[in-house]
Amino acid sequence: MPFVRISVTDKMPIEKRQELPKVVYDAMRASINIPESDLFVALHAHGKGELVADPKFMGMQRTANFTLVHITLRRGRTVEMKQKLYREIARLAEERAGIAPDDVMIVLSENGPEDWSFGKGVAQFVEAQKPEVSA
- What is the mean pLDDT for each group of 10 consecutive residues in the chain (135 residues)? 95 96 98 94 97 97 97 96 98 98 98 89 81 55
> What Å distances lie between residue 79 and 3, 34, 84, 85, 98, CA to CA?
19, 16, 9, 10, 27
User: Domains of the chain, with CATH numbers?
Assistant: 3-129 (3.30.429.10)
What pLDDT does residue 21 have? 98
